[in-house]
Amino acid sequence: MAILQIREALRAALDEEMARDPRVFLMGEEVGHYDGAYKVSQGLLAKYGEMRVVDTPICEAGFAGVGIGAAMAGLRPVVEFMTFNFSLVAFDQLINNAAKLHHLSNGQFTLPIVFRGPNGAAHMLSSTHSQAFDALLSHPPGFKVVSIATPYDAKGLLKSAIRDPNPVVFFESEVMYGVKGEVPDEEYLIPIGQADVKRPGSDVTVITWGQGLPVALRAAELCAEDGIDCEVVDVRTLRPLDEKTIFDSVRKTHRAVVVAHEWPTCGFSGHIATRIQEEILDELDAPVLRETYEDVNMPYAENLEKLVIPSAERAREAILRVAYHRI
């Protein structure tokens, strides 16, 4: 067992899959000679050469399209967006091509491609660099969508994503690349579409993913001081969503709060709340509540940004509300 940062776990997954399958290659801005904007790809250019670690121009629409074409031709590209904020100029390629080519070709083409990079707010990057794409890229059929928050999940899920015959959107977090955790020395895969109970509990289910996980776990610690035992469910995959694990937890606790780094209007957290209330309404003893961004553009100022993004304290307040504790 090794202790790795998330960036190191992602690098290990890329290295293992590139060694395993010569069709796998990495492309994106600064992935090669600069060793990656966040050092995820450090050392891979020296090991695999410029044919398999490809520095691209600053043209997301162009290199996303090249990656899609390569996947159609039988290769297995991993396309890194330096941040998913920059993927906006490639949305025609992502949504009208990557997510739809299998359908439009009547199954003649599979598209084994991974689009990966940081998603959501980082730190003091203001509104144009703090978008959350969870709901946007989970909306069109055709993608699988993964969001990781631990080194163990990062490695196991990226390996599964690279081997998947479908296009996978793989969300990371700029502020979490340095998070450390245990990663097995032996090879392992984590199935896409399988949630994980990160903290068992009996009183309130807290559902989260990505950057929301440390917020949810800290909120659970605070609530333990109030005598409330929270179960924290990390969905890990937004599409397909593991509804069974969510529903089983809510059937046990009869209360749910969703903690998500995204805007509340039309957010993926709203989809989760809806599915709970559509399928197991009679199991609920309180409405499903959400802790998300405030519904404003992300400010640059550090003190204002702190007021906008989800906090453990506000998540605790939502948990207390569904548990009928006055605050």
Q: Can you give the three-state secondary structure of 275-300, one letter per residue?
A: HHHHHCHHHCCCCCEEECCCCCCCCC
Q: Is the C-alpha dihedral spanning 249, 250, 256, 260 positive or negative?
A: positive
Residue 5: alpha-carbon gap to chain centroid: 16
Whole-angstrom distance, CA of residue 71 vs CA of residue 83: 21
Which positions are catalytic? 60, 129
| DSSP for residue 3 | E
Residue 16: alpha-carbon gap to chain centroid: 21
Whole-angstrom distance, CA of residue 36 vs CA of residue 44: 10
Read off the amino acid at residue 59: C
Phi, psi (rounded to 5 degrees) for 5: -75, 160
Whole-angstrom distance, CA of residue 208 vs CA of residue 237: 10
Radius of gyration of the chain (CA): 20
Distances (CA, A) of 101 to 110, 112, 164: 8, 11, 15
Distances (CA, A) of 154 to 13, 110, 137, 228: 8, 24, 19, 30
61: enclosing H helix or E strand: helix 60-72
